[in-house]
A and B are shown apart, each in its own frame.
Chain A
Amino acid sequence: MMTAARPDAPIPGTTIFDGRQAMKGYALNKMCYSFNDKANREAFVADEDAYCREYGLNEAQRKAVRERDVLALIAAGGNIYYLAKFAGILGLSVQDVGAQQTGMTVEAFRRKLTGEGA
C-alpha cells in the first residue's frame, strides 16, 4: 500500500487525485483522454458500451458512465480534467456538472458562484 509522505487532514467534498486514484481510474481517464479526437467522440456516441469495453472500464466505471454520475466517476478514479471531456460530449457545462455534484439546481449553483464568500 502507498502511504502519503505527510498525512494531511481530509478536505470534505474533495478527492485528491493522487497515485492511488490515478491507478484506480487509469482506464476511465484513458478513455476520456481519447475524446480529444472528434472521431473517438463519435465512436463513443455510436456505441457507448462497446467503447467502454474497448478501454477496459470496470463495472463500477461503466455504470457511472451509463448513469452520467459525476461523483461516482470520481470515486471510480476519474480525474475532473479528463471527465470534463466526457461532460463535453454530453453537452454539460461545468455549472451543470457542479450542480449535479452538489445536488443543487443549475440556477442555484450559479447563484452560489456569484454570492459565496462575499
Chain B
Amino acid sequence: MARIIGGIATSHVPAIGGAIAKKKFEDPYWKPFFDAYPPAREWLAKTGPDVAVVFYNDHGLNFFLDKQPTFAVGAAPEYVNKDEGWGLPTIPPFPGIPELSWHIIETLVADEFDPVSCQEMAVDHGFVVPMQLLWPGRERPIRTVPICINTVQHPLPAPSRCYKLGQAIRKAIETYEQDLDVVILGTGGLSHQLDGERAGFINRKFDRMCMEKIVDDPESLARYSIHDLVLEAGAQGAEFILWLAMRGALGGHVKQVHANYHVPISNTAAGLLVLDSAA
C-alpha cells in the first residue's frame, strides 16, 4: 500500500524562480533564503519519496475567471510549465501519476468532496518554484499529483475545509494498492499583501505562531476564517490554507525536522517547514 512519509510547506514567490534562473544563490539578498533548503533536500534524499502530492494555487495560468474551480486535481501524464506573463525561462514538464490521481478523485467524490479533474494542467510558479527548490537537479524524477485550491476569487474555501480535504487525501493515499512513498507539499504564504493601500503588510508574530501551532495543534489554526487570515496575514497570506491542507494529510503526530522563516523575499514572509510522519 502507499504511505505518507511526511510533508513540506514552503513559500513560492515568482522572484525565486527568477533568482534560480540567474543562479543568485550566493547573492547577499538571496543567500539567507536559499541556505535554508539543503536540510529539506537532505531529508528528501534520506526518505526517498516516489510521489509528491502538491497543494498549490494557480495565479491565472491554467484557470481564468470564466471557470474558477475551488478544488482541482491534476490527472495528467505530465504537467507543463508555461510563461505566466513575464517571459521567465520555463523548465521541463513534471511527470504525473494519473492512476493515483484518479484514485484520489474517486475517493474524494465518495467522501463528498467534488473536485474538478484535469487531464491537462499547466503549472505556474505556485507549483514549480517549490519543486525547483526541493529537487533542483531532478536526479530522482519524482512523479506528482498537483491539487489546486482557489485563492484568487472569493469565496475561498474555509481553512477547516482545506484541512479536511487533506484528511480525505490521506485516506485516498492509504487505500492505494501500489507500494509508494508519498510526500505532501503545501506551497504559498506566509504573510503578504500585494494589493491596495495595505500593500507590504507582513505579520511576523502571526506567522511564527502559525509555524509553531501547525506542528502539534493544527486544528486550532483550522478554526480561523478566511477573513481572519486576510486580516492577520494579508490578502495573499490566505494562501496559508494550502499549508493546512498539507497538514491535514499528515494525520496526527508529526516530528518537526527543519524550519526556517525569512523576511522579506520580494513582498513576502518566506516560510519553510519539514515534518516527518514516521517519527
Contact = CB atoms under 8 A, between A and B. Distances in A.
Interface stretch (B82-90, B107-115, B209-217, B241-249): B82-90
A8 interface: yes
Interface string B220-255: 000001010011000110000000000000000000
B91 interface: no
A5 B83 CA distance: 37
Given A41-B85, A85-B60, A101-B195, A95 B204 contact: no
B200 interface: yes
B193 interface: yes
A102 B202 contact: no
Contacts of A118: 204
B197 A12 contact: yes
Interface residues of B, number: 40
B85 A11 contact: no
Given A41-B85, A74-B196, A95 B60 contact: no
Contacts of A93: 15, 266
Residue from B87, B155, B201 whose CB has the most chain A CB atoms within 10 Å: B201
A51 interface: no
Interface of B: 15, 59-61, 64-66, 82-87, 152-155, 193-205, 225, 227, 230-231, 235-236, 263-264, 266-267
Interface string A30-66: 1011011110010000000000000000000000000
A84 interface: yes
Interface of A: 5, 8, 11-19, 22, 26, 29-30, 32-33, 35-38, 41, 70-71, 74, 79-85, 88-89, 93-95, 97-98, 101-102, 109, 112-114, 116-118
A22 B60 CA distance: 13
A44 B171 CA distance: 48
Contacts of B66: 30
Specify the main secondary structure of chain A where it touches its partner: helix
A18 B226 CA distance: 12
Contacts of B200: 98, 102, 109, 112-113, 116
B198 A116 contact: no
Contact of A11 (B204, B231, B263, B266): B231
Contacts of A82: 60
A17 B264 CA distance: 25
Given A29-B65, A32-B85, 15 more contacts: A13-B196, A18-B153, A22-B65, A26-B65, A33-B65, A36-B60, A36-B84, A79-B153, A85-B86, A94-B266, A97-B194, A98-B194, A102-B199, A114-B264, A117-B202
Nearest to B82: A36
Residue from B83, B87, B197, B204 whose CB has the most chain A CB atoms within 10 Å: B197
Nearest to A109: B200
Contacts of A101: 195-197, 199
A88 B86 contact: yes
Nearest to A117: B204
